[in-house]
Amino acid sequence: MKNQHQLINNIVGQMRGVDKMIEEKKGCFSVLSQMKAARSAIDSLSLKYLEEEFTNCLGACSRGNENEVCKKFFKELIKH
């Protein structure tokens, strides 16, 4: 499985490809397909990040007065 850095590089490459396709006025279906692929890659990166950093994120919530940070974190978590 790819690491976070590799996933980010893939996403950047996909978005550069989308930019070029738009610049070259490629077909709408092709451009949207590439955007969908990029979104899927971002979702994969989000999941991988969460899998690797979940305990750290929770740990930040339990330290000191981090109530607002915790609320934000869980709102973002629920969105995904």
List the domain boundaries for the chain: 4-79
What is the spatial distance between Cα 60 and Cα 66, in angstroms, rounded to a whole number?
7
Q: Look up residue 3 and give its two tokens.
A: 């690491």
CATH number of 4-79: 1.20.58.1000
Distances (CA, A) of 79 to 34, 46, 73: 23, 11, 10
The predicted-structure confidence for 14-44, as pLDDT tens digits, reads as follows: 999 999 999 999 999 999 999 999 999 999 8
Q: Look up residue 23 and give its two tokens.
A: 């610049």
Task: Work out the average pLDDT over 49-76.
Answer: 74
- Residue reference for tokens 């973002």: 76
At residue 15, the pLDDT reads 96
At residue 63, the pLDDT reads 66
Residue 80 has pLDDT above 90, yes or no: no
With a CB cutoff of 8 Å and minimum separation 6, the contacts of 43 are 80
| The model's pTM | 0.72
At residue 31, the pLDDT reads 96
C-alpha 40: how far from chain center: 8
